Amino acid sequence: MESQHVAEVFTQLYGSEPEGVWAAPGRVNLIGEHTDYNDGFVMPFALPHVTVAAVSRREDGVLRLHSQDVPGGPVELRVEDLAPGSDRTWTAYPAGVVWALREAGHALAGADVHLASTVPSGAGLSSSAALEVVVALALNDLFELGLPGWQLARLCQRAENVYVGAPTGIMDQTASACCESGHALFLDTRDLSQRQIPFDLADRGMRLLVVDTQVKHAHSDGEYGKRRAGCERGAALLGVDALRDVPYAELDAALERLGDDEEARRLVRHVVTEDERVERVVSLLESGDPRAIGPVLTEGHASLRDDFRISCPELDLIVETALAAGALGARMTGGGFGGSAIVLAEEADVPALTKAIEAAFAAADLTPPRVFEAVPSPGARRLR
C-alpha cells in the first residue's frame, strides 16, 4: 500500500494534505485458538497486509470518515453524538475508537480520516482490528495522548465490544498494535504480559502459507457464542474463574469431575490442551527448533475439529491435503466454520503443496481457495 497515494486521495477528499499517514496490520494466529476468552495464551503474528490511514486533526467537533474500500463519499459525524449501538455500518469501527478514547477521558475534538486496506475483510485475518488500531494510533500521535500499544489495543477492543457490539477477545487488537517483524507475539490474555518470540521462517528455509477458504458458514456467529458460554459453564462446574486456571497436569482429574457431561469435557479438554500447545510452541521456537512446531499445529487442528467442533469440510480438506503433500504441520485458524487455515512447509515443497490443495478443492467442486505466504511483519506504525 502506497502511503503517498493514500495521502493524495485524502488531499482530494478534504482539500488539504493529511498531517500524517499510519498503518496497522491484519494478523494470523499461529496457535492458541479460542483460548483468549478463557484468560489463556495466544500467539499471533502480523501479516504484511495493512490498513493505512491518512488523518488530520479537527477542532470543531466533527469526525469525517472515508474508506477506499466502501462505495460513497465521506461520512460526517459529530463526536458528541457518538453512542454505542447507534451505527450498524463500517463507520462504527473508527467512530467507536473515537468514542472509547473520549470516554477514557482523552480530549479529542475531531478528525478527518481516509482509509485504504489490503487486509482481506471477513477472512478471519482481522481487518476489523487493523481498522481500529490504525485509527487509534493516528489519534494517539496527533493528539499526543502518549498511550502504549497494549492500552490502545484495550480501547480498540472496547470499541468493538461495546460500540460495534461484536464480542471479541483482546488478541486481534494487541497483535495489530504490538507485533514485531520476524516474531510471533506470546500473549497472556489474563494480565496482557507479552513476549516477542523469534519466528523468522525464511531464514530457516520454511514458509507459512495462509489458505483462505473464502467461505463463512452462516451459523458461525451463533456457534462462537455457544462455545464461549460452554467454556464459562465448564469453568463454573470446576469452580475456577476461567479454564486457564485448570493446570494441564490436572486435566485428567478435572475431566473426571465433569463425569458424563460430554460437552463440558470436550470444551475443557480443548482449552486446557491448547494452552499447553502454546507453551510448547514457545519453548520449541525459543530453543531454535521451528520445524518441530509442525506436529503441534496439527494436534491443535484435531482438537478444534474433534473436541471444540468448529472446523468444516473445507478446512479439514486443506489440512489433510497439505499433510499428505508433505507439510510439516497444518491447522485451521480463527473462529472456525470457514475463514482460513495455515500450513507450515519446507520452502521447496510449497509449489507442489499449493497445487495439491487447489486440485483437491477442484475435485470436491469447491470455490478455489486463495493461497498466500504469511511473513511475520511489523505491527502498527507511522509511515509519514
Decide which of Mg ion, ligand ADP, none touches 117; Cβ closer than 5 to 8 Å per partner kind.
Answer: ligand ADP
Residue 167 engages ligand ADP in binding (rule: CB under 6 A): no
Cα 49 from Cα 58, distance rounded (Å): 29
Decide which of Mg ion, ligand ADP, none touches 90; Cβ closer than 5 to 8 Å per partner kind.
Answer: ligand ADP
Closest by CA position to 184, among listed 192, 175, 193: 175
Residue 67 engages Mg ion in binding (rule: CB under 5 A): no
Residue 115 engages ligand ADP in binding (rule: CB under 6 A): yes
Q: Tell me the window of 11-19, 56-64, 120-128, 138-146 that interacts with Mg ion (CB under 5 A).
A: 120-128
Contacts of residue 86, defined as CB under 8 A and 6 or more positions apart, other chains included, come to: none
Based on the residue annotation, tell me whether 172 is a catalytic residue of this protein. yes
CB closer to Mg ion, 122 vs 205: 122
Q: How far is the CB of 339 from Mg ion (least distance, A)?
A: 10
Cα separation of the two ends of the chain:
13
Residue 340 engages Mg ion in binding (rule: CB under 5 A): no
Cα 275 from Cα 254, distance rounded (Å): 15
Cα 145 from Cα 163, distance rounded (Å): 21
Assess contact for 6 and 67: CB atoms under 8 A.
no
Decide which of ligand ADP, Mg ion, none touches 3; Cβ closer than 5 to 8 Å per partner kind.
Answer: none
Q: How far is the CB of 202 from ligand ADP (least distance, A)?
A: 26
- Contact map string, positions 130 to 159, toward ligand ADP, x by CB under 6 A: -x----------------------------
Identify the active-site residue in 172, 212, 275, 349: 172
Write down the H helix ranges in the chain.
3-14, 92-103, 127-142, 149-158, 171-178, 220-238, 251-257, 262-286, 294-302, 313-324, 350-363
Assess contact for 84 and 160: CB atoms under 8 A.
no
Residue in 67, 128, 189, 311 binding Mg ion, rule: CB under 5 A: 128
Strands 338-346 and 329-333: antiparallel
Look at residue 223 and give its three-state secondary structure: helix
Contacts of residue 64, defined as CB under 8 A and 6 or more positions apart, other chains included, come to: 14, 58, 74, 75, 76, 77, 111, 112, 113
CB closer to ligand ADP, 56 vs 168: 168
Residue in 38, 126, 303, 340 binding ligand ADP, rule: CB under 6 A: 126
- Contact map string, positions 74 to 113, toward Mg ion, x by CB under 5 A: ----------------------------------------
Site for ligand ADP in 28-57 (CB under 6 A): 51
Q: How far is the CB of 356 from ligand ADP (least distance, A)?
A: 26
Residue in 19, 69, 200, 373 binding ligand ADP, rule: CB under 6 A: 69
Site for ligand ADP in 323-352 (CB under 6 A): none
Cα 123 from Cα 215, distance rounded (Å): 8
Assess contact for 197 and 182: CB atoms under 8 A.
no
Residue 93 engages ligand ADP in binding (rule: CB under 6 A): yes
Using the 8-state DSSP alphabet, how is residue 87 labeled?
Answer: -
Q: Which positions lie near Mg ion, rule CB under 5 A?
A: 126, 128
Q: Which positions lie near ligand ADP, rule CB under 6 A?
A: 51, 67, 69-70, 90, 93, 115, 117, 121-128, 131
Catalytically active residues are 172
